[in-house]
Chains A and B, each alone.
Chain A
Amino acid sequence: MNVAQPPTLARIIREATGLDVARCYQCGKCTAGCPMARYMDLMPHQIMRLVQLGGAPAEEKLLGCATLWSCAGCLTCTQRCPKELDPAGVMDVLRQISYDRKKTSPEQKKVLAFHRAFLKTVESDGRMSEFSLVRRYKMASRDFMSDVALAPAMFARGKLKFAGHKTPGRKEVRRIFAVCRKGGGR
């Protein structure tokens, strides 16, 4: 009797998106048009290739790479892929898995701090108010100095407010967060 193998990333991606990554023929059009490529370690087409390749070393590389968190989700790759393979969607699934399994790239602390700060603000207030977001982000990233000069200007223009706007029914939003956390996402 076979010991059950954990599903491969390719299989998880197929179940989440319906895409069969085997169809990728490594043309490189995604990499060619990616605006954030210079901030990535693995190129988008290499991400697709590693998913195809499978196996533990490839998976580790994928889940821990900096690329996932440098992707802007601009959809240029998805728009132009001649095989209609949605690399942006694949990146999303890999991000979710990476985050869920706590394998995120140590190089991308700031990006992850941003996402956590954003979500924490939404969980607490139901909505994201920029002041709360920035406050949380700076505490988490220890990046206090950047954009400090902009803050007064933003306040003056009404683009930053101390009193964050909140969803009246934010308890419901908190409950949603809790349920999702228990379900573990993916």
Chain B
Amino acid sequence: MARVGVFICHCGENIARTVDVAAAAAAAAKMPGVVYSADYKYMCSDPGQQLVRKAIADHKLTGAVVAACSPRMHENTFRRAAAAAGMNPYLLEMANVREHCSWVHSDRAAATAKAIDLIRVMVEKVKRNRGLRTITVPVEPTAVVIGGGIAGIQAALDIAAGGKAVVLIEKSPSLGGHMARLSETFPTLDCSQCILTPRMVEAANHPNITLMTSSEVESVGGFVGNFEVTVRRKARYVDPAKCTGCGECWSKCPVKNIPSEFDAGLSRRTAIYRASPQAVPNQPVIDARHCLMLTKGRCGVCAKVCPRGAINFKDADELVKVKAGAIVLATGFELWDHSAYGEYGGGRIADVIDGFAFERLASASGPTAGEIRRPSDGAEPKTVVFVQCCGSRDEKAGVAYCSKICCMYTAKHAMLYAHKVHGGRAVVFYMDVRSAGKGYDEFVRRAIEKDGAEYIRGRVSKIYRRADGKIMVRGSDTLAGTPVAVEADMVVLADAVTPRPDARTLARMLGVAYDADGFFSEAHPKLRPVETAVAGVYLAGACQGPKDIPESVAQASAAAAKTLGLFARPKLEREPIVARVNRITCAHCRACINACPYKAIEDFNILDRSGKVIRVVANVNEGLCQGCGTCVSVCRSKSVDLDGFTDEQVFLQIAALGPEESGVKSRGSS
């Protein structure tokens, strides 16, 4: 005989404002099989859970329905409460009367009737629930970190320090990401390379870290604790085991005119090249699109001069499979393309540059050895205009959001310029100054008060190049109430921070959500900033949203902590909502095996006592099965059913909503 308890939550006002919870509790009490019915303000709170536990014990309940929020919120909470009271947790179900009812309707009478229906449906189900046992799967204690910038490096180092293995995958030939291109970092004006390169080397040398540069993720299968990541290790054409990084090859390469991506196009590189002198690994790769041997079959000078014979033109991409228990996404960002602003020259004016280009000018290891010189003629600019919010906060032509870091790096640029060009004039056009971190506002004030940067509040309307080479900037001072025109020698645009264009492809591979702007979505904006909705996949750094280095590092360490927490348990518990095959009726038509999206069903031999195979049937691997139910729907002999969601349960749930004459009668207990 079923003894079901129904617990209806008010959820403060969230449910009770729209659903008459007292009436629902009264209606539930009359449902067949229900022996206890109650309502309470916050069922998930301690007294609420106490209520559930006490009722289970006092009334010897055989099943429970908690009518409250979505099971995604608190199913675990209530199942733990049930378990604490000695009831199998899978005998407790939730009826979602919040997200599916009170939050989407406003008519109180109709919403209450619907809530009662939802409860009735779950009561019918719960009466036929069986006590299931959690399934455990092993966890592969290896993490895959995708992205080798500061966030990826930090996450890899933290996980490795925790004693677990890491595979660090970086798309470009070297670690370091954007931080490696910076001159100095705010607010301390630390040399960026000086603080970063030790970490890069540590990551490359750490015994627990396997570094895969020039590599991209091709596909991802599996699930938390048991991912299978296929990595495409792109052809480098240089044997890493032999190369010493001596530089003979790139000094002799005849193709010298490729705009350097690292230097934002301010310098040229060769076809066989190293991104920068501090690259890790400190070895060149060949850019196949521009190499004469690889495109036209001639030259080959690098192979001739290499003292170690490390050049291999026959190199090819290699696909490698990596088993991992957790994945950390740290793919970083890119700058918005300001050629979309025709009024700023449409990207055609050489002396109108972006923030990274300015960093390369200022960097001691950059194309001008740290001297500020303008791209068109190499002259030292005496007046530089910095334009904040270029593309940011512009719903019409750019992105709607604020890119967070530009106010700070613009102040930094103004300061670096003032330090390097004595007597130079730095003008900053801004809308607001967002400098909320520790020491940040003081930093900006220092740029204004000590280093003489002229801050003018107003957006710039037009930038054009006069025939005499001056860059004309038409801005405004909204505080003083006047337009302001500046004759500049160079203009630095603080372009918006955007996710990488291929981030979406990677997200889809993993099933990770991303927002309208392409940033990866965290599981909860307040309380779960480094997890995604996909268990076992974590986020770190600017790929989740614009942020500076300290925040990226903090997030990376947080993602590492989550990863280590996952790996701390040798086995993972999984919900026992899995398919089960009836071996007696299974006809081995293999429809389920072909239909299963998780490759979780396989052939199973039934042997006689002498070991001879007498029948072959389908068998579900509980570790892989995700409980999607596809096999149940394709089986022609109705030999597969889903634990926790049997056919019988589903039909009876439907019948609970319909008229009495629907003809579906219950077979078992009432």
Binding site for B on A (CB under 8 A): 25-34, 37-38, 42-43, 45-46, 76, 80-84
Contact = CB atoms under 8 A, between A and B. Distances in A.
A28 B395 contact: no
A19 to B, nearest CB: 13
B397 A32 contact: no
B475 interface: yes
- The interface centre, meaning the residue of A42, A80, A81, A83 with most chain B CB atoms within 10 A of its CB, is A80
Given A28-B478, A37-B483, 16 more contacts: A28-B431, A29-B459, A31-B483, A32-B474, A32-B475, A33-B461, A34-B461, A38-B483, A42-B481, A43-B481, A45-B478, A46-B481, A76-B461, A80-B343, A80-B461, A82-B398
Contact of A26 (B394, B460, B462, B478): B478
A82 to B, nearest CB: 4
B610 interface: no
A37 B458 CA distance: 15
A42 B59 CA distance: 78
B476 A84 contact: no
Nearest to A31: B476
A43 B476 contact: yes
Contact of A32 (B393, B394, B398, B483): B483
Nearest to B392: A82
B396 A32 contact: no
Nearest to A34: B483
Contacts of A29: 458-461, 476
20 contacts: A25-B431, A27-B478, A28-B458, A28-B459, A28-B476, A29-B458, A29-B459, A29-B460, A31-B483, A32-B460, A32-B483, A34-B483, A37-B482, A43-B481, A43-B482, A45-B476, A81-B396, A82-B395, A82-B398, A84-B395
Nearest to B432: A25
B457 interface: yes
B474 A27 contact: no
B551 interface: no
B461 to A, nearest CB: 3
Contacts of A43: 476, 478, 481-483
A20 B457 CA distance: 23
Contacts of B343: 33, 80
Instruction: List the 9 closest pairs (A to B, CB-CB), nearest first.
Output: A33-B461, A28-B458, A32-B461, A32-B476, A82-B394, A28-B478, A28-B476, A29-B459, A31-B476
Interface string B398-414: 10000000000000000
A43 B459 CA distance: 14
Give the interface size class of chain B: 20 to 34
A131 B267 CA distance: 63
Interface string B450-478: 00000001111110000000000011111
- The interface centre, meaning the residue of A25, A26, A81 with most chain B CB atoms within 10 A of its CB, is A26
Contacts of A46: 478, 481
Interface string B567-602: 000000000000000000000000000000000000
A43 B474 CA distance: 15
Nearest to B391: A82
Contacts of B476: 28-29, 31-32, 43, 45
A34 B478 CA distance: 13
Contacts of B431: 25, 27-28
- The interface centre, meaning the residue of B395, B396, B398, B461 with most chain A CB atoms within 10 A of its CB, is B461
A46 B459 CA distance: 14
- The interface centre, meaning the residue of A27, A46, A83 with most chain B CB atoms within 10 A of its CB, is A27
A82 B461 contact: no
B481 A32 contact: no
Interface string B465-507: 0000000001111100111100000000000000000000000
B397 to A, nearest CB: 7
A135 B478 CA distance: 41
Contacts of A45: 458, 476, 478
B474 to A, nearest CB: 5
Contacts of B398: 82
Contacts of A32: 458-462, 474-476, 483-484
B483 A83 contact: no
Contacts of B396: 81-84
Contact of B478 (A31, A38, A76, A83): A31
Given A28-B478, A29-B459, A43-B476, A82 B397 contact: yes
Contacts of B481: 31, 42-43, 46
A27 B459 contact: yes
Contacts of A28: 431, 457-459, 475-478
- The interface centre, meaning the residue of A29, A34, A38, A84 with most chain B CB atoms within 10 A of its CB, is A29
Contacts of A30: 461
Contacts of A38: 483
Contacts of B475: 28, 32
A34 B393 CA distance: 21
Interface in B376-401: 389, 393-398
A32 to B, nearest CB: 4
A42 B481 CA distance: 8
Nearest to A84: B396
A38 B457 CA distance: 18
B458 A31 contact: yes
B243 to A, nearest CB: 50
A92 to B, nearest CB: 20
Contacts of B484: 32
B374 to A, nearest CB: 23
B213 to A, nearest CB: 40
A40 B393 CA distance: 28
A82 B390 CA distance: 11
A29 B474 CA distance: 9
Contacts of A80: 343, 461
Nearest to A79: B343
B458 A27 contact: yes
Contacts of A33: 343, 461-462, 474
A156 B396 CA distance: 50
Nearest to B343: A80
